[in-house]
Chain A
Amino acid sequence: MRKVAVIGVGQSKFGELWDASFRDIVLSAGIEAIEDAGLEGREIEALYIGNMSGGRFLAQEHIAALIADYSGLAELHIPCTRVEGADASGGMALRQAYLAVASGLHDIVIAAGAEKVTDVGDKAMEILSSGVDREWEVFNGATLASLFAMMARLHMDEYGTRAEDLAMVSVKNHRNAVKNPKAQFRREISIDIALNSPYVAEPLRMFDCAPVSDGAAAVILASEEVARKYTDTPVFIEASSQASDYIALHSRRDITTMDAVVFAAREAYKKAGIEPDDIDVAEVHDSFTIAEIIAYEDLGFAEKGKGAELIREGVTELDGDIPVNPSGGLKACGHAAGATGVRQAVEIVLQLRGDAGERQVDAERGLTLNIGGTGATAVVTIFTR
């Protein structure tokens, strides 16, 4: 397998983008990436796009064809593929693109992720719940938030994680997002505000839950040899791994652990020949604050049950030992389902290049963790300079 590098990144603003259609936001991210890479566009040999539910949000399937059409790639008749894995769609699309280049099949490939959720009004939450078990979780009364809430309840009872710890994750991510011009929410909040916000599904409150956002992101991958023609600062994908687990929370081995994350992370570290300690910065899937704390543990940054200590001790702040979610994460940057996994990659690449502006951290190696639903899919990607 060849070494694969990122030669261009692009991202739309995340949020309620009333003026922009799905086609508009995908294109804006794609063009930004192409310009960043210094390409004309015809160099691209394949497209992979992560999109969770064009069918229900837009009554549109065949998303890859639509985007290929709008971006001019259909003119070139290149292969375009939509990848779906709930809100891991973006990370999965990135992985497919990586495999296409690493295997030698293609030299330059674009991986994108996009979701337009605000055209369906208040149906968005119900549509997002299609990432969990419709027959036996949703039909029986579970909402996505309530599933993470049940994980949180157990984590709090078993390991002493507190509501304050969850609030601190939210506070950190909001503070980071102030420095991210593309983020949806760019105002700091206090622990008090978080702890007094209305309950969504106890014990999770409004500030424990990522919003439902429109957004798109794109990265352009190239083989090492080709990359060096376009950039002096390629960022390499050192490892890419993906794992699955039972779709329903009730089928999992341990409700407070996402085995898919543990598995994927272990694989990725092994492929890269590193330890969790070697990660300098990470973008993890904080669809709910508890997911970030569990991620600390499942990624090996902390022992099982001790995730809360990292946030309490400031270890994952921008100025901490391992900054997590410098972009603001899903909570403050916004969570655009299929786009998120690619947006995370964009952030890590910017960080490793030194292009992260006010939220720049000192890092040589970064990691992204993108999760589908309550952990049935996990994609871990490790980037290095």
Chain B
Amino acid sequence: MLPRFWRKIKQRYNLIATKCENCGTYYYPPRNLCPKCRRKSKMVEVRLSGKGEVLSYSVVHDVPENMKEQKPYVVALIKLDEGPVITSQLVCEPREVRRGMKVKAAFRRCGEEGEAGIIYYCTKFIPE
């Protein structure tokens, strides 16, 4: 996983999106190719503000092994101000979450490759 994680550090730490200058659409997670424009794509990197709102959410009880400590946790579909919808853990009390809630990016640990392995850091979201 190491090179695979490392390759996207820039995009995970800082919500570096791509924008197709041909049609003006923002893509996060970033894409190399605009699905609408295909060959006419003109992709450039853009850093997003990290602000958005909750489109939908779920409180996860049946958690994967690596998330056992955080059970139950909230996962959400977040619509970023610039347009893209992303999937992210939302760090807040399960009873606090509401659709439409304003959220912002936070820098957190996302996991590790075991006790002796590398630590994954990424962007999660917290209430504004």
Contact = CB atoms under 8 A, between A and B. Distances in A.
Interface of A: 122, 125-126, 129, 133, 135-137, 139-143, 145-147, 149-151, 153-154, 157, 198-204, 246, 248-251, 255
Given A200-B61, A202-B58, A251 B85 contact: yes
13 contacts: A125-B62, A140-B89, A141-B88, A150-B57, A150-B76, A157-B99, A201-B61, A201-B62, A202-B58, A202-B94, A204-B58, A248-B29, A250-B77
B58 A249 contact: no
A143 B59 contact: no
Given A150-B76, A201-B59, 12 more contacts: A136-B87, A139-B110, A140-B89, A141-B75, A141-B88, A143-B63, A146-B58, A146-B60, A153-B56, A154-B99, A200-B61, A202-B94
Nearest to A138: B64
Contacts of B120: 139
B115 interface: no
A199 B56 contact: no
A251 B110 CA distance: 22
A85 B57 CA distance: 26
B36 to A, nearest CB: 12
A140 B85 contact: no
A136 B122 CA distance: 11
Contacts, number: 98
A248 B8 CA distance: 18
With a 10 A CB-CB cut-off, give which of B57, B58, B84 has the most chain A CB atoms: B58
Interface residues of B, number: 32
B120 to A, nearest CB: 8
A126 B56 contact: no
A199 B87 contact: no
B18 to A, nearest CB: 13
- The A contact surface, by secondary structure, is helix
The 6 closest A-B pairs by CB, nearest first: A149-B58, A141-B89, A150-B56, A202-B59, A136-B29, A250-B85
A138 to B, nearest CB: 8
A106 B66 CA distance: 48
Interface string B2-13: 000000100000
A248 B84 CA distance: 12
Contacts of B76: 150
B2 to A, nearest CB: 14
Contacts of A249: 77, 87
B48 interface: no
Contacts of B75: 140-143, 146, 150, 201
- The B contact surface, by secondary structure, is strand
Nearest to A148: B58
A153 B64 contact: no
A125 B64 contact: yes
Nearest to B35: A246
Contacts of A154: 55-56, 99
Interface string B116-128: 0000101000000
B96 interface: no
With a 10 A CB-CB cut-off, give which of A126, A146, A199, A248 has the most chain B CB atoms: A146
Contact of A143 (B56, B60, B86): B60
A202 B87 contact: no
Given A201-B61, A255-B55, A141 B86 contact: no
B65 interface: yes
Given A126-B65, A135-B29, A136-B29, A250 B87 contact: yes
B60 to A, nearest CB: 5
Interface in B47-75: 55-65, 67, 72-73, 75
A136 B56 contact: no
Given A141-B75, A153-B99, A198 B61 contact: yes
A201 B87 contact: no
Given A136-B86, A251-B85, A141 B57 contact: no
Contacts of B110: 139-141
Contacts of B61: 198-202
B8 A135 contact: yes
Contacts of A199: 59, 61-62, 72
A116 to B, nearest CB: 21
Nearest to B67: A141
A201 B64 contact: no
Contacts of A150: 56-58, 75-77
